[in-house]
Copies of this chain bind each other. A is one copy, B any other.
Amino acid sequence: MTAPDPSAAFTPTPIAFDPADPTERRLAFLMEADRLKEIERAGRVAGGRRENSAEHSWHLALYALALGSEAAEGASVDRVIRMLLIHDLVEIDAGDTPFHGEKRADLDAIEDAAAARIFGLLPAAEAGEMLALWREFEAAETPDARFAKALDRMQPVMLNLATGGGTWPDFRVSEQQVLDRCGPPIARGAPGLWPRIRDRIRAYFAARGA
């Protein structure tokens, strides 16, 4: 089944939500979150087009679900999934910062403000919980956050490998740069996965004669 061609003009229609009602606040948050689908990343899906941050977040949550047995002892897969579902929402305001690109000096401040605004759409207690979960992810110190970070580093490598190098030739990064930048976070959060990724990175660069 394909849908009828949407030839009728598209009319954006902002919905009003009552900020005094907790459930209305949750709906407002969910409508705002829709905008993450418009945030384009540097990397590509295996089909070739640029990936967006919403579908990337879905893919990462599925990574956590399928690879949970690779997490360090003490990690909770369900908590990692929650973390990954919300980890990129700040990009609605801050945009995506490519892993191999330059990071603007004020990025942390911009992302902090974004987190306060976006999670702040929720009722206060829930906003506080999501903000704490996002900060835990960013700090990458707990077993849950380390596993989440490892997956966030690993999934783009897999897609780069599936797309002729993906962002590596785009950013002209060397084999050693890829190994140095991706190795530590992946090895720390998912030690059993890193050798598989490392060997594939090496094979890619070897085949390219770089």
Q: Is the CB of B46 within 8 A of A12?
A: yes
Asked whether A15 is an interface residue with its Cβ less than 8 Å from the other chain, the reply is yes
Chain A, residues 120-164, CB within 8 Å of chain B (1/0): the string is 001000100000000000000000000000000001001101111
Q: Indicate how many identical chains form the complex.
A: 2
Q: Is the CB of A62 within 8 A of B47?
A: no
Give bound CA distance, A113 to B103, whole Å: 46
Give bound CA distance, A82 to B62, whole Å: 8
Interface extent on A, as a size class? 35 or more
Asked whether A19 is an interface residue with its Cβ less than 8 Å from the other chain, the reply is no
Closest residue of chain B to A101 (Cβ to Cβ) is: B1
Closest CB of chain B to A74's CB: distance in Å? 17
Chain A, residues 182-200, CB within 8 Å of chain B (1/0): the string is 0000000000110010001
Q: Is the CB of B55 within 8 A of A45?
A: no
Asked whether A116 is an interface residue with its Cβ less than 8 Å from the other chain, the reply is no
Asked whether A205 is an interface residue with its Cβ less than 8 Å from the other chain, the reply is no
Asked whether A30 is an interface residue with its Cβ less than 8 Å from the other chain, the reply is yes
Give bound CA distance, A63 to B97, whole Å: 26
Closest residue of chain B to A197 (Cβ to Cβ) is: B27
